[in-house]
Amino acid sequence: MPSVVKINVLTVPVEMRQELERRFAGRAGMVESADGFEWFELLRPVAGSDRYLVYTRWRSEEDFERWTQSQGFRKGHAQAAGEAAQGHGHGHGGPAAGEAELWSFEVVQSTGPA
């Protein structure tokens, strides 16, 4: 069974970029212990875009679904929402991203260094 990739596309205004990155850094370690988790990357736009990509790779669709139903997932998202509501960090309350879209893929080919 091929691995699956989930890419959460977050539209983030320039003034909220540091806040978004801070919130993700604060959640470090939560997803890594999930069964079936293989990889995570937070990708910052370089030029011409305001969309961050949150890349996760999973052993299976079922593993990803189990993660989204888990206490760790709820805790991480509740923590970020709580910090936003309290205005922690650099005084930015509310969500860091304006829009979110989830893309799903199956890994057909993968390679690394020779």
DSSP letters for 95-114: -S-SEEEEEEEE--------
> What are the tens digits of pLDDT across the range 64-85?
999 999 887 777 666 555 555 4
Model confidence at 89, pLDDT cuts 50, 70, 90, reads very low
Buried b (16+ CB within 10 A) or exposed e, 82-93: ebbeeebeeebe
* The predicted structure's pLDDT at residue 90: 46
With residue 88 as reference, give the H or E element that holds it. helix 88-91
Residue 25 contacts by C-beta under 8 Å, 6 or more apart in sequence? none
- Spatial contact of 52 and 95, defined as CB atoms under 8 Å apart: no
**Which band of pLDDT confidence, cut at 50, 70 and 90, is reported for residue 46?**
very high
Rounded average pLDDT over 41-55: 93
Cα 112 to chain centroid, rounded: 23
Average pLDDT of the residues in 38-52: 93
* Mean of the per-residue pLDDT values of the chain: 84
Measured in whole angstroms, the distance separating CA 111 from the mean position of its chain's CA atoms is 23
Cα-based distances in Å from 46 to 31, 50, 51, 61, 89: 25, 9, 10, 30, 23
CATH numeric code, 4-103: 3.30.70.100
pLDDT for the residue 1: 79
What percentage of the chain exceeds 70 in pLDDT? 82
State the pTM of this model. 0.79
Q: Per-domain residue ranges for the chain?
A: 4-103
